Amino acid sequence: MSVKVRIPTPLRPLAGGRDQVQVAGATVRAVLENLEKECPGIRSRLCDERGELRRFVNLFLNDEDVRHLGGLDFPVQEGDVLSIVPAIAGGAQRCAAGPPCR
Amino acid sequence: MPPTIKDLMSQIRSHVKEVTPAEVRARLDRGEPFTLLDVREKEEVDQGHLPGATHVPRGFLELRIEGLVPDRKTPIVAYCAGGNRSLLAAEGLQRLGYENVLSMAGGFTQWRNEGNPVVVPRRLSEADRRRYSRHLMIPEVGEAGQIKLLGAKVLLVGAGGLGCPAAYYLAAAGVGTLGVVDFDKVDESNLQRQILHTVDRVGTPKTESARKTLLALNPAVNVVPIEARLSSSNVESIFRDYDIVLDGSDNFPTRYLVNDACVLLKKPNVHGSVYRFEGQVTVFHPPAGPCYRCLYPEPPPAELAPSCADAGVLGVLPGVVGLLEAVETVKLILGVGDSLVGRLLHYDALKAEFRMLKLRRDPKCRYCGDGVTFPGFVDYEMFCASPVSVAP
């Protein structure tokens, strides 16, 4: 199973500047594990120490919030799109889950 | 000898029952279902009418009544200025088979003289008709919609990258009252995107600069500059007077404060945010959809949300997102279309792509969840553990 993961602007430095990454995996959790191999350091931005999604990050499988699909163990289908949507404070100054800027 | 008008009226009174204004008032107060028909001419109705009345001039009554009141058993109370035309109207309705028609004796004059409530319909002036003619041509706006816009009160949180374009178009659209909250002063680096401000106003308060530009565009708008830092102690008194809050802030403490106040005061919170080439827009208005805390119960910790003074944004981007917020605001005022309640619109400017994501309310949300009492405002700076920065 291969899904397209959309990388939001604040996390693109961890993905070598890419805005999307094609990743294999049977569940959302497996996709995130494989995403970490492609983009080292990205998983700790998305998940806490217990491996659960951080509360200031939302993942959408196609147009549905992964939390409402039952969480990270939800199975993915070939061709699905997984979007990472971090909290963005607003304008030019501040970003969630973003790389340090200074 | 033909009957006089006096003969005719007393003849009609023999088979049309009358009610007093006091009886009609009592029925309205009890919430009784009946159709209240104002049979006067338009010019009279424009001066004031009874609450909830349907206006059909006596001359068109028989022609239009079937469309308005198809069921002949519906109770109807007709009134005019003094109680004579409504008697004639009631008789006409009886002839068409309406069984439950009453005429209000003394009419509107007596109703008003007895101190009962009167609704004076707002009308557009000739100048309004010229200015908003392109709105009046759209069925979804029209005269009624424009009157709603003129009566609407929108609060803009921030006169920055998002608030400037939104306020500009809302003023142009004729939104009657625009509150603008900002504590900041115009900086040269704002001018790349904050289109209400100008070179000669660098160093002056953004609220005052915004007011000048908005009034130059539309002097009829009541622009309320609120030069203050939004806080737990002033947020309720500032928000209370407005119908809709448009969040154009740039920092997490304010985002959470705006959310919590809107949940408490049950105001729609039109939300937009931008980052470089990406933007997000939605409307938070529980219980129809989620609040900001359903989506992001906690802000990111400081180490993951550094103060990125150099994060930057494409200057046009907040223009797009701020105007999407303005469109949603106008839709809410007019009550048309499908609002972004329960949906997040994501814009990727580099890809030139819009995507729609579904949002759901969290029934266990601490602020808008089922059966939850408002937990109160918190120390938002502490909650977000990061200092407030300047507007976008």
The verdict on residue A91 lying in a domain is no
The verdict on residue A15 lying in a domain is yes
Q: What is the pLDDT of residues A1-33, one digit of tens each?
A: 899 999 998 899 999 999 999 999 999 999 999
Judge whether residue B387 has pLDDT over 80: no
Assess A5–B contact: CB distance below 8 Å, yes or no.
Answer: no
Residues 6+ apart with CB under 8 A from B131: B174, B218
Work out the pLDDT band at B305, boundaries 50, 70, 90: low
Residues of chain B contacting A10 with CB distance shorter than 8 Å: 275
- How distant is the Cα of A60 from the closest Cα of chain B, in angstroms? 7
Query: Is pLDDT larger for residue B117 or for residue A93?
Result: B117
The verdict on residue A97 lying in a domain is no
Residue of A nearest to B253 (CA): A89
Q: Identify the CA nearest to B157 among candidates B33, B27, B260.
A: B260
How far apart are the two ends of chain A, measured CA to CA in Å? 39
Chain Cα centroid distance, residue B307: 36
Q: All domains of chain B, ordered by start, with CATH?
A: 5-113 (3.40.250.10), 152-384 (3.40.50.720)
Assess B339–A contact: CB distance below 8 Å, yes or no.
Answer: no
Q: How many helices and strands in chain A, by DSSP H and E?
A: 2, 5
Question: By the 8 A CB rule, do A102 and B306 touch?
Answer: yes
Residue of A nearest to B363 (CA): A68
Range of the domain at A68: 2-86
Q: Look up the ipTM and state it.
A: 0.86
Judge whether residue B302 has pLDDT over 80: no
Residues of chain A contacting B352 with CB distance shorter than 8 Å: none
Give the pLDDT confidence score for residue B385 in this predicted structure.
Answer: 72
Question: By the 8 A CB rule, do B197 and B182 touch?
Answer: no
Give the Cα separation of A45 and B319 in Å (integer). Answer: 29
Q: What is the pLDDT of residues B10-21, one digit of tens each?
A: 999 999 999 999
B165, amino acid identity: P
Q: Identify the CA nearest to B258 among candidates B226, B274, B234, B222.
A: B234
How many structural domains comprise chain A?
A: 1
Helix axes B85-95 and B61-68, enclosed angle (nearest 10): 60
Average pLDDT in chain B: 93
Judge whether residue B82 has pLDDT over 60: yes
Work out the pLDDT band at B303, boundaries 50, 70, 90: low
The verdict on residue A59 lying in a domain is yes
Would you call A92 and B313 a contact, using CB atoms and an 8 Å cutoff?
yes
Has this prediction a pTM greater than 0.90? no
The verdict on residue A60 lying in a domain is yes
Tell me the CATH number at A16.
3.10.20.30
Distances (CA, A) of B345 to A89, B9, B229, B273: 16, 64, 29, 11
Assess A50–B contact: CB distance below 8 Å, yes or no.
Answer: no
Give the pLDDT confidence score for residue B306 in this predicted structure.
Answer: 43
